Structure 1
């Protein structure tokens, strides 16, 4: 990818950026454990370093896409004060907890920094500036896996767990584990009881990397080659888990559900009457690997078969060609962490920007576009019997849940009313039968209390 910047410079002159979809990874955090078989996550917290990394990414995106002097400036998008009709933000709110949300907020602070113009004049002519010197507030939509599987599709998925098991049982995996035994023997003293196996490669690397970053004593003791080897094994492990030999395979599920969000956003940006021009999707590392495989980017760039660094970004630019070819094209650019700039990458074996219509045609075959489809792919049962898309299903579910709740409450009331009537009748009948037995009746002291309050 050494010549990617030159290719960018040569291409921008004949195309106009209409909008951008940015998929960003969260910034630094403390250790994050993931179950090697199910990928259910543990507890973690963001760090000041992570917030700085994400803020830096936001500043880079601002200079790339919101600066009128940039060759990649989004045509007509406001850059001084945020216009919330032009930007949409979706944040994964599943594994890694609040870390991804914190990263999104920090990124947005860099994308739209405080501006003293963010003020109003009141009727009495007093001027009120927003807090923190004109802080700009951008609405953020958190995506819960319990409602919407588009941003975290790899957990609670039996078919994906089967895919993981098959990867662990493969000859390739067994050979790699055998070769890595010297490393596993030498690293035991630095992981404090954590299983030193290839299945646990992600957790070993994440722990070592986290301690190396935040623990000064640990950093002094750790031999320099161990973290490099741990990273290589984790890359092998995660690439094997979050990829598939076939496009549309279960291994690419993280990217296939992400593609639904991408296509819906492209549809909005391309529509002239829709003001949306910038979509930010804040997520973990998993969709990056899957997307790079699903879109066949790794065929040209095998170095992307690895875990992206913290605060990485994958930008999908919608561009309008210049005459005589005024079609809409897509350009894909990737930035790995805080070091270096964006590099152009190509999808589906092309060595140029791809027409939007061609991309949609090729991508749609692998897209998972609804919770019901996700459940079918995973081998489970859908909790919403609908063909609606992920985002629409949330509204659908909420509306129908309300109707179901009202209906249930009404039927419960009717049922209780009927039971009460039966109880009253039975009580009267019983009282009639025992009225001649008053002498045998025992009366308790104190007032009687009714159950029907």
Structure 2
């Protein structure tokens, strides 16, 4: 009999308005969460509260605080791209997990008891992870090597053959889809249809379920081809390479009982799920739906060994107690994977160093890689291509860059100075 001592929760955002992303670089436009998306995330938080915060549950996280959260036990992060839709999803999720309650109060010296606004609303901080400051939740954008690989996928015989089969179907969509009609643009075609099918009554009534399913099947093939790779270190897996950084950090802090972390929440898009399943040999080649959840549960056996079990739910909650999360064996190991084995198998592919990411992505011009290039060009005696910490610029790089800027400003007219990347996250 094992007990759960911690969990890393990976979630996709809830329902949102339409948006567009480049079919090669995957740079995305902004969008906004919908009331439906907020409800999906809120209900998801409620369900996981019953699964992990209810002391009578078999998957209760031992020692986690409820109904009032202890912030030292939590680490909640959300990708701030796409117009804050992922951040707002995280906020709604946390409202479901730690709802307003009368225990959020204090008694003043004069004996008056004050309850927090909105019936005891609880403010669980969400760290917004800026792509310009941190690579962990969005390692695939501004990554020229990933873009080149995506173009290579599109040029492959298998991809072109699938596109040829879909040609007539795609042509039939032209009258109803306000997107460029090509198999390379299949994600945007499907996303447009999916948003309209959910929110536009005319589109819903005039488009068959079979048409929607065929579009989804093609989008599944398309995105699986882009965000997976037959080689574990292949650039197609970059979305999970960078996400592994905070995941492994979370496990370490859960394992170290003096730190006290009980739960890490990582809010992201659908892309890391595809790479996660590919790298852990989980047979799920499809795009996960809105509000999907993958939980890496850390179990402590009676022998004292730590084991990981993956619980997955595709889409929004269908139960109120989290029982719709399905045990999903990694590497075919039904009884779970030891934490040490997980580290051994995957830590070599975790990208936690900005310099490594810049080299792998062949990026020299953005996301801090430009500053590393400046530092490299200005020194012959120091190794400045490595960074430390959670994808932030190292003190060495920052110091060298600072010296360059200080020297440059003493002899040149004032120039715009880029802010140092990876130095902070915003709450």
Task: State the shift of 1:20 in Å.
Answer: 0.3
Deviations 1:114-171 (A, max 9, x none): 0111011112221111111111111111111111111101111111011101110111
Equivalent residue for 2:342, pick from 347, 359, 372: 359
2:7 paired with 1:20 = yes
Task: State the shift of 1:390 in Å.
Answer: 5.0
Cα root mean square deviation, aligned: 2.1
2:291 paired with 1:306 = no
Deviations 1:203-225 (A, max 9, x none): 11100110111111221222332
Question: For residues 282 and 400 of structure 1, what CA distance do their matches in structure 2 show?
Answer: 32
User: 1:450 — aligned with what?
Assistant: none
2:315 paired with 1:316 = no
Deviations 1:75-110 (A, max 9, x none): 01111101101111011112x221001100000000
Task: Output aligned runs, 1:15-414, within 5 Å.
Answer: 15-94=2-81, 96-192=82-178, 194-297=179-282, 301=283, 304-322=284-302, 325-340=303-318, 341-381=324-364, 382=369, 383-384=371-372, 385=384, 387-391=386-390, 393=392, 396=395, 400=399, 404=402, 408=405, 412=409
Task: State the shift of 1:326 in Å.
Answer: 2.0
Task: State the shift of 1:359 in Å.
Answer: 1.1
The structure with the larger Rg is 1
Q: How many residues align?
A: 392
Q: Which runs of 5+ in 2 are unaligned?
A: 319-323, 373-383, 414-427
Question: For residues 415 and 87 of structure 1, what CA distance do their matches in structure 2 show?
Answer: 47
User: 2:423 — aligned with what?
Assistant: none
Q: Report the TM-score, using the length of structure 2 for normalisation.
A: 0.87
SS at match of 1:85: helix
Deviations 1:264-283 (A, max 9, x none): 10000000211110000011
Cα pair 1:148 1:394 within 8 Å, conserved? no
Task: Output aligned runs, 1:5-16, within 5 Å.
Answer: 14-16=1-3
Q: Which runs of 5+ in 1 are unaligned?
A: 1-13, 417-453
SS at match of 1:393: coil
Task: State the shift of 1:379 in Å.
Answer: 1.5
